[in-house]
Structure 1
Amino acid sequence: MGEVVDGKRESGRAVLGRTLKFLREQAGKSLGQLAEETGYDKSYLSRLESGERLSKVTVMEDLDGYYGAGDLLVRHWQAARFDAFKDQYKEFMELEATARVMWKFSLGVPGLLQTEDFAREVLSGAQATADSGEWVEEQVAARLGRQYLLQQKPRPDVRIILDEAALRRPAASSQTWNDQLLHLEAAAMWPNMTLQVLPFSAGAHHHMTGSLTVLWQQDGSAVAYKEGNGCSRLIEDPDEVLRNRLSYDRLRDLALSPSDSLKFIRAVLKEHKHHEAHP
């Protein structure tokens, strides 16, 4: 991720910060001038340069444009975002970033399909404390950054099965939930996305305690990743990966078709709007 400095690997966040400072100084700008010309707070920009803070990727897009740096800062940001995650998850994310085919099952709305406000509400839950606002914002930025995977060229082929529970546990904010449902409706129509709903009527199933992801690389190699009950595991053994692929196939057989799943999402959205109009 980073360069080796004095025998130690420099973090991606530190490399990004050093690049930000270099571009600013090369442009002959002070932090105050940069803040005035970009509209970003001076202390915020300073913390980005010192590697203390991870921004949203849109900030890097703005600064790339400001400096005429192409996508240099965005590419450094994509490496720096790994610093926000635990080691095993970093390994999974590296594989996810290069996967050509992704199959996912989730009990809740997965990070790849969360809106910013919904992600912030999820991440501001029981694990957050009164003084952890900055941690939450960094996690939101990192989570939204993963969604770039769905836009990269060539675009990966993605299939996501959502348990109906994901659509029955709304956000606390009515507007946030409305926007999240609209986003799911839009995602279901993306050309590289197959979105299915596993309804409660399908009954009990073997992934009721967590999520499952199966990834295929361009060379045909595959891994599986499971999360649940506070634990996560990256699976690379071919036999075990195959077992998880077959278990995913069984979930897909139980799920609604893509077209019926879209109708289901729209029905939930209609119910939500009706409830808000007639509380």
Structure 2
Amino acid sequence: MPSRRVITGRSQEPRRRFAEELRLLRTEKGDSLRQLEVVLGWSASTFGKMEGGQSLGSPEIVEALDQHYGTKPMLLTLWELAVADPSQFKEQYRRYMTLEAEAVGLWHYGGGTVHGLLQTPEYARELLAAGGTNGEELNQQVEARAGRGKLLEGNDAPPFRAILSEAVLRHSMRDAAGWRGQLEHLAEAAERPNVSIQVLPFGVGLHGLMDTAVTFLRLLDGRPVAYAENDMRGELVEESGRVERLHRTYDVVRDLALNPAESRSFILRMLEDLPCEPST
């Protein structure tokens, strides 16, 4: 069994240590990335991204690597530490934002809030403030979200499908005028040729994304990736098998949702039901 390295100041950061250990074990064994692909079944590019720190992979891949190198459970332990490291969440989200700006297609399911690309500045401000953001940082983040929305504008805008749980539309803002503006913004966005909005009614019952919000991106090279998040964490998913499983679940949810025309009518009815704004 390969000896474990002493942790140095250079490799105390969990994600970096995990990537370094993967590279060291492979070179000590004399494997190429292509050989790992043949022996273990996952793509060489997946192993390359894990060794480069761009991806943590899945527990199934890490367990297979532990078995291959005879290091069980060292790699899985390092993987768990890397996954639990709060700093890697911010790193993954920054990478997701870069990929989002370059995507040629986007698909989303949201169970609690409107997707950032569809938020009005007023909605973004109230949502971010509720999460504890304030002061100049709040102003900067609201401005950044407003800038994200421009991704869906113009002749070259990518196609975007958003499935919104009815809960998203029932969680109104404290600012009544701001909430009216957000609903109007959704109804207007749904008329754009590149935007499709579907509402998932409460009546459909339980489904596979109850506790997960997910956004899929189709990249320039045709490869899909996903960003999945819940109340506690977010994860950029790049391993093709996991992305495919998430996408199959998303397709089931899409089939349960109202079609785009019905969904826009649903939003318009909600607008009609809002109290009239006081006359001036």
Coarse TM-score class (shorter-chain normalised): 0.5 to 0.7
Give runs of aligned pairs for residues 70-89 of structure 1, distance below 5 A.
86-89=90-93
Q: Which amino acid aligns with 2:110?
A: S
**3-state SS of 1:233 partner:** strand
String of CA shifts for 1:110-132, please: whole Å, max 9, x gaps. 1111111111011111423xxx3
Distance change (3 Å), C-alpha of 1:249 and 1:207 = same
**3-state SS of 1:124 partner:** helix
Identity fraction in percent: 42
Shift of 1:194: 0.6
Match status 1:100 vs 2:104: yes
Q: Which amino acid aligns with 1:176?
A: G
Give the superposed CA RMSD.
1.6
Q: Which amino acid aligns with 2:189?
A: A
Please list every run of 5 or more consecutive structure 2 residues that lacks an aligned counterpart in the other structure. Answer: 1-88
Counterpart position of 2:226? 224
Q: Name which of 188, 209, 212 aligns with 2:211.
A: 209
Shift of 1:182: 0.4
Q: Name which of 114, 120, 123 aligns with 1:118.
A: 123
Q: Which protein has the larger Cα radius of gyration, Structure 1 or Structure 2?
A: 2
d(CA) in 1 for partners of 2:203, 2:194: 28
Counterpart position of 2:254? 252
Shift of 1:153: 5.2
String of CA shifts for 1:161-206, please: whole Å, max 9, x gaps. 0010111011101100011110011011111001000000111112
Runs of 4+ in 1 over 3 A off after TM superposition: none
TM-score (norm 2): 0.65
String of CA shifts for 1:102-152, please: whole Å, max 9, x gaps. 000112111111111111011111423xxx311111111111121121125
**3-state SS of 2:275 partner:** helix
Counterpart position of 1:266? 268
d(CA) in 2 for partners of 1:170, 1:229: 19
d(CA) in 1 for partners of 2:222, 2:202: 34
Q: Which amino acid aligns with 1:227?
A: E
Shift of 1:221: 0.6
d(CA) in 2 for partners of 1:168, 1:126: 19
d(CA) in 2 for partners of 1:181, 1:273: 13
d(CA) in 2 for partners of 1:224, 1:179: 29
Deviates more, 1:136-145 or 1:172-181: 136-145
d(CA) in 2 for partners of 1:181, 1:229: 24
d(CA) in 2 for partners of 1:208, 1:115: 25
